[in-house]
Amino acid sequence: FRIAVFASGSGSNFQAIFDHINQQKLDIHIELLVCDRPGAKVIERAEKAGIPVFAFCPKDYPSREGYEQEIVNKLQEKQINLIVLAGYMRLVTDTLVKSYYGKMINIHPSLLPSFTGLDAIGQAFEYGVKVTGVTVHFVDNGMDTGPIIKQEPVNIHETDTIEELEQNIHKVEHRIYPEVIDWIAGGRVKLEGRKVRLTPKK
């Protein structure tokens, strides 16, 4: 099962996925890292792991369709089964969604549909909610709007600082994202309209 990870920043989720696959000896292979920020730390992680990187500057292209078409070509070349957005700080357009709907997932650090978009952890913290969490969902044309595969709540305690909340969120992300990828690789995730069904392990 061949996956491509898209990331823009630190890549702690990339690392968690890579480590989980290795430790569990899963038949899942990260064939490509796509990164829209050539200086990002995630690139170092990929190089250390021996994973091919496609890094690009969006500014070098006349439009989003331009670099996305180049990405689609690379994904097809490598026969990618699943795109995993892991801190990819950029909206994807129809160029990708048309070819990969149902085969592209994202992780978002809130319980969607609350706190979409940037800085979801900060938004939840400032709002004063007592429970936030993590959502893994299929990607559609909207921002953080696609069908939900898994959610896990994270409590916000009165004594929590934003840094502690961030840590608690990331801990959950690093555990559930590899798990969901494993479900999908095992053919256990069925998309029926907006509803996602998980079939039992054989």
Q: Which residues are known binding-site members?
A: 11-13, 64, 89-92, 106
Separation CA 51–CA 137 (nearest Å): 25
Among 12, 99, 116, 151, binds ligand GRF (CB under 6 A): 12
Give dist(CA 83, CA 36) in Å, integer: 15
Among residues 13, 95, 132, 168, the one that binds ligand GRF under rule CB under 6 A: 13
- From CA 152, how far away is CA 130, in angstroms rounded? 14
Q: Residue 197 Cβ, how far from ligand GRF at the closest point, in Å?
A: 24
Establish if 11 lies at the interface with ligand GRF (CB under 6 A).
yes
- Count Cα atoms within 13 angstroms, Cβ side, for 3: 26
Return d(Cα 122, Cα 129) in angstroms, integer.
11
Largest separation between any pair of C-alpha atoms in the chain: 50
Phi, psi of 34 (to 5 degrees): -105, 125
Annotated catalytic residue, options 20, 29, 108, 170: 108
Phi/psi at 185 (5° precision): -60, -35
Single out the residue of 173, 178, 185, 189 in contact with ligand GRF (rule: CB under 6 A).
173
Q: Is the dihedral of CA 39, 43, 47, 48 positive or negative?
A: positive
Q: Which amino acid is at 86?
A: A
**Single residue of 4, 7, 33, 105 touching ligand GRF by CB under 6 A:** 7
Residues 100-119 that bind ligand GRF (CB under 6 A): 107-109
| Pairing mode, strands 2-7 and 82-85 | parallel
Nearest CB to ligand GRF, comparing residues 133 and 197: 133
Query: Near ligand GRF by CB under 6 A, which window of 9-17, 23-31, 51-59, 155-163?
Result: 9-17
123 interacts with ligand GRF by CB under 6 A: no
Let me know if 137 is a catalytic residue. Answer: no
Nearest approach, Cβ of 189 to ligand GRF (angstroms)? Answer: 19
Q: Using CB atoms, what's the residue nearest to ligand GRF?
A: 87
Q: Considering the rule CB under 6 A, would residue 145 count as an interface residue with ligand GRF?
A: no
Positions touching ligand GRF (CB under 6 A) are: 7, 9-13, 86-87, 107-109, 173
Catalytic residue numbers read: 108
